[in-house]
A and B are shown apart, each in its own frame.
Chain A
Amino acid sequence: MKRLHLILVSCLAVLLLLPLVLDKYLLGIFVMIFFYAYLGQSWNILTGYTGHISLGHALYVGIGAYTSTYLAMNHNISPWIGMWVGAVLAMLVGLVIGFLGFRFGLRGVYFVILTISFAEIARLVVSHIPALGGFAGIFLDFKPSFWNFQFRGNEAYYYLSLGFMVASVVVARLLELSKAGRLMVAVREDETAAEALGVNAFKYSMLGIALSAFMSALGGTFYANYIFYINPNSVLGMGLSIELILRPIIGGMGTALGPVLGSFLLTPLSEVSRAYFAKGGLEGLHLILYGVLAILVVLFMREGILVYLKKAFGSRLGLEP
């Protein structure tokens, strides 16, 4: 076993035991760390591995959140079932966007703008659908039970979100090791060269966006049943899209652990500073800090902190450089 694996397994063991000692507030911060690592990973699977930049990932999170919530509140269908419905729906939407983007050859910023456009259209349309709560959004009924995906206290959410995060790392790692994942990276590095070698760039880009949208939507269901309130801006807005890409970019795009590292660095900073600055009437200051940090990381460690750390300490962990 490589030293890195030992370290990761011990980290996981510590995380599994943490709820024994942490209070509710700190548990809540960990829930958000895991949640954003998960969403970041979902985005990373598209953008990190295939190189197609999405800035509209809130769309898929929103589809997940709204679908499972709508089914639960109007048809009494458990979010455990609704989350898969939402995920399939998001995947289909992702495939449509991917088809338009990749078939019509929208590269770089054009694809970015395409993804933003669809997310914004969805945000505006949902704002005008009374059955989905319109601008005001939906307050979920609090009916704690396993079946309802709702729990008292933060322990259950802690383990759930930890599970989400670990599963997403496993998915990303398996993808990295698979042939499909390697071909996705080939598309990212040089689409023309990959196609010349017979790689079906369209197919692997579609695979990336489908998987990415599917996973993001599952996260949306978790969010809705953790926060108990969703509205078009919170789960379909550009703010969420920016939030969820910051972590993998700062941690390291195109790596399985980058989004996790990014989230462990950024989320506590965000949660603590948000509360701290809001108390002092300095709302928004934490986002300014974020912006500065993101710029500094891109300027000085353009491949993310993880890659930087790997270069510095990789040999001691038994990793290839």
Chain B
Amino acid sequence: MNYQLLLQLAVQGVLLGGVYGLIAVGLSLIFGVMGVINFAHGPMMVLGMYIAYGILVLLGLDPYVSLLLVAAALFLLGYLVQATVVNRILDFPEAMQVLPLVATGLIIENAVLLGFGPDPRSPRTALGLATLHLGPVMIDVSRLMAFGLAVIITGVVFLFLKYSDIGKSIRAAADNRVGALLVGIRVDRVNNFSFGVGAATTGAAGALLLPLMATSPHLGHDFTMTAFVVVILGGLGSLPGALVGGLILGVAESVSTIMVPATMKQVVSFALLVAIMLFRPQGLFGGRA
């Protein structure tokens, strides 16, 4: 086996894994607070990619800068989706909870298709082709940037939930809905805010991925699945779990390209997903199911 190639792939996997973690943080947060799976997750991320793309083309702002605008836009969208749809379905049977979010994904996906057309886009960004050499390993600067920012954003969200007042309300509402209502927390608003934050991190992840891959309107399902794998690896509802799960998946997918064609690497992640669900449904880092 070629160890240099293996090392190269492992490093690439770690760097991509950071972004996978950020993709999954939103899903995990939304599940943790509301108990619903956001099946519109991937399409929301693709929307984030396209917003970043639009800003780049129109205003010339690099995704690393427009990240904040993208996150703000997706925050609004998430807030709205929660306020208009998800808050009303929280007590529904599960089959009825799945459909509205799948439908939301369908709407977003096709709105993107309508707005930007079906052709894939791969924009040229400032750092697009720059590389660093670290010993035998070559690193794309855009991958490194994406990784660094993803870890920072995940950290900020984590600290925000842990120490800010709103974060404490979110955790209270997630822990005990009735209790939170009793002490005067406006649970529906907290929910709106949580979904907004979840969507915002997802949008930010989209902006970070834009320099790394061509975007097209139908990428959403793949990203939804990636996020599922990551959160189930790390444990649904656990934010540090999402980051670690992302790293594991990134490395697994990247290294697996030695053995299977790159278009098959998703099979590896699905197999991992099924295995984890069957044997450790609480995730590698979760305490209980």
Contacts and interface: CB of A to CB of B under 8 A. Distances in A.
Interface of A: 47, 51, 53, 55, 100, 104-106, 108-110, 112-114, 116-118, 120-121, 124-125, 127-128, 238, 242, 245-246, 249, 253, 282-285, 287-288, 290-292, 294-295, 298-299, 302
B103 interface: yes
B100 A299 contact: yes
A91 B266 CA distance: 25
B6 interface: no
B103 A302 contact: no
A109 B94 contact: yes
A285 B93 CA distance: 29
Contact of A298 (B92, B113, B277, B281): B92
B99 A121 contact: no
Nearest to A245: B99
Contacts of A118: 270, 274
Interface of B is mostly: helix
B102 A288 contact: no
B95 interface: yes
Given A288-B111, A298-B100, 4 more contacts: A285-B110, A287-B106, A292-B107, A295-B100
B32 to A, nearest CB: 13
Interface string B99-122: 110111111011101100010000
B221 A113 contact: no
B85 A295 contact: yes
A118 B274 CA distance: 8
Contacts of B118: 283
B102 A242 contact: yes
Interface of B: 37, 85, 88-89, 92-96, 98-100, 102-107, 109-111, 113-114, 118, 217, 221, 225, 228, 232, 261, 263-264, 266-267, 270-271, 273-274, 277-278, 281
A120 B106 contact: no
Contacts, number: 119
Contacts of B109: 284, 287
A116 B273 CA distance: 11
B107 A288 contact: yes
Contact of A117 (B93, B102, B110, B273): B273
Q: Give the one of A47, A51, A127, A298 with max B CB within 10 A.
A: A298
Contact of A51 (B89, B95, B111, B221): B95
A188 B117 CA distance: 42
B264 to A, nearest CB: 6
Contacts of A109: 37, 94, 98
Nearest to A297: B99
Pick from B37, B95, B264, B274 the residue with the most CB of A within 10 Å: B95
A283 B218 CA distance: 13
B278 A288 contact: no
A294 B85 CA distance: 11
A80 B273 CA distance: 37
A296 B28 CA distance: 26
Contacts of B88: 299
A108 B85 contact: no
Contacts of A242: 102, 106
A125 B273 CA distance: 16
B205 to A, nearest CB: 20
A295 B278 CA distance: 32
A295 B108 CA distance: 13
A266 to B, nearest CB: 12
A294 B98 contact: no
A121 B281 contact: no
Contact of B106 (A113, A125, A291): A291
A176 to B, nearest CB: 18
Top 7 nearest A-B pairs by Cβ distance? A284-B110, A291-B107, A284-B113, A291-B103, A294-B103, A291-B106, A287-B110
A302 B267 contact: no
Contacts of B85: 295, 299
A20 to B, nearest CB: 38
A113 B98 contact: no
Given A47-B95, A100-B274, A113-B228, A294 B266 contact: no
Contacts of B281: 104-106, 110
A127 B270 contact: no
Contacts of A282: 114
